[in-house]
Amino acid sequence: MTANEVGPGAKLDQFTIVKAIGHGAYSDVYLAEDPAGRQVVLKCPHESIMGDVATFDRFRRELEIARHLHHPGIQRPIEFTENRSRPYMVMEYVEGETLRAMLSREKRLSVDKVVDLGQQLAAAMAYAHEQGVVHRDLKPENVLITPDGRLVVTDFGVALMAGARRLTWRWFSTALGTPDYMSPEQIQGKRGDARTDVYAIGVMLYEMLAGRVPWDGDNALSVMSQHINSPVPPLHELNKDVPPPIDGIVRKCLRKDPNERYEDAATLKADLGRWRDLNLTQFIFGDEAIIAPPSNSDLRLVLLIFAISAAFLTASIFLLVLVYLIGHAH
């Protein structure tokens, strides 16, 4: 099958192409049917890099990682061809839409919806982390939502399994992360661990609640610089309906120091499940201590204290001036 033949009705071995459903940095994704009429997903590398050893190894590793993951929240692999000149992967077909498509349509989601999707995403990644797998490229394009609300994580193409060799770092390749969702340690070229995925989940939680990612810019370097150097834009300024505990959970995910984030996705999932009962003191981080706008009563108290302080200062200055004038009068 050549590039000109990819389209409805084209054949790839025993599979018949129905339509293209995705285009990635180094592969294309197609909806297809097997001889029995079952719908499957075919993931094929771009023709321009077919036969490339590194690409073939990446595909092989993705399949090997996926074969270790058996969770309803992770897309299931079916088959992998060993043909170097035309490698492809067969995955289960998950009916639904990407989280990106959902956000494009709805802009931002309700708190309850975000908590539900966040728990499902954290559960899937907690399972992967237990198997020693770090995804490293979590983003709305790699998350599917079925019509009944089930979340499924896809594309483990740049995932790492414990003990696996490290890939060569390439600054501008989406193969090692997408700038909007990359953790500071990824940007700095470090290997990353479960907390790297927690950071990406935090970016997605923020985006689902705010209708935008925390940081954007004219180019990838600008965005990556902000991930490393810029504080998190206050979430409550973009969505006043976000409760302080949810705000705190998102901030904890987005801490620049991995040691200050949730240690793994399982802990994050637990907090999302009990957010109404969380003690807010755990989310106080130095210069980011304020995690929600003051209430009206708090604001009145602050203004009262300010007014009393101002009056006391004015009276003190008046008395000092009066004492000075009396002293000089004699």
- Which residues carry out catalysis? 137
Q: What counts of helices (H) and strands (E) characterise the chain?
A: 9, 11
In terms of DSSP bridges, do strands 133-134 and 160-161 run parallel, antiparallel, or are they unpaired? antiparallel
Query: What are the Cα distances from residue 294, in Å, to 17, 142, 300, 301, 308?
Result: 57, 37, 10, 10, 20
* Neighbour tally for 270: CB within 10 Å: 14
DSSP state of 96: S
CA distance 134 to 222: 25
* Neighbour tally for 269: CB within 10 Å: 20
Torsion sign over Cα 116, 122, 126, 132: positive
N-terminal to C-terminal alpha carbon distance within the chain: 107
Q: How far is CA 44 from the centre of its chain?
A: 25
Write out the two tokens for 68.
Answer: 């270790």
Of 281, 298, 217, nearest in space to 244 by CA: 281
Write out the two tokens for 137.
Answer: 């490229």
Q: Are the CB atoms for 124 and 144 separated by under 8 Å?
A: no
Q: Are the CB atoms for 114 and 106 separated by under 8 Å?
A: no
Decide: helix, strand or coil at residue 151. strand
CA distance 62 to 160: 9
